[in-house]
Structure 1
């Protein structure tokens, strides 16, 4: 029969799980930002696609070029969201293992370490993908300014 954990042991388990929970909250905030960016890209895609049939040839060519850029952005955001979600799921498993490891005689320290490192690797790759999406969007804005002949007042 397994011994019932003491309240101090449960408190210790909760303390151990706090860091991964904060990481999970941070990933959730990032997912929110990424999902909002994806929604804006999808909205722009639908707007361009909807006006494509009636557009003159020169505007149609510009719209098709922009749709290509939007497609690349959607692919990057989708990858970032997928990897961030995978990282969050691994953090959830880490939290489960932390509790399970204290309540059962199964050693979980190595699994917790490996899963946490894997989660951070997935999150890092997700952030790189997100950065690439932001760079694609920024370059598109610069091209638009150049096409319009406008010069920015301040350079960043």
Structure 2
């Protein structure tokens, strides 16, 4: 018996690993979007922090409100980033396990399936966090009613 796997076995494993690889590409794009949003929030927080000590009255209250909102957004984005990176790591583990199982004729399909389900759950959680952050950001974009009064 040949201890080395056949080329067809490796080719089949590569085919099986393509879906998780596409998922990794999508997670990479999500990470790029989240990192960009985080950078913009941090930049805005720095600007508002400079204005904060120079303001008073309603303007000061608005700066405090916006800083709290920006802090919440940073927290949500950071959690989404952690979840997305965790999903990417789990997806990489799935791909590695597919090859290990193929090379050593291991029957670890259940383990691979559970890890892939975990990767998907982490990705879904990250996307929910992204949606939450977008909803929070929209609350800061609305024009204040006092500016709309005649």
TM-score by length of 1: 0.89
1:78 maps to which residue? 78
2:148 maps to which residue? 149
| Corresponding residue SS for 1:51 | helix
How much is the aligned-residue C-alpha RMSD, in angstroms? 1.7
Please say if 1:59 is aligned against 2:59: yes
Post-superposition offset of 1:87: 0.6
Contact 1:2 1:104 in 2 (8 A): no
Please say if 1:102 is aligned against 2:102: yes
1:153 maps to which residue? none
Please say if 1:119 is aligned against 2:119: yes
Contact 1:83 1:123 in 2 (8 A): yes
Q: Which runs of 5+ in 1 are unaligned?
A: 151-156
Please say if 1:24 is aligned against 2:18: no
| Corresponding residue SS for 1:85 | helix
Deviations 1:65-91 (A, max 9, x none): 100011111111111111111111000
Deviations 1:109-140 (A, max 9, x none): 11110001111111111111111110111122
Counterparts of 2:126 and 2:19 in 1: how far apart (Å)? 20
Post-superposition offset of 1:55: 2.5
TM-score by length of 2: 0.92
Q: How many residues align?
A: 149
Deviations 1:49-105 (A, max 9, x none): 122222334322211110001111111111111111111100000000000000013
Counterparts of 1:133 and 1:127 in 2: how far apart (Å)? 10
Structure with the largest fraction of helix:
2
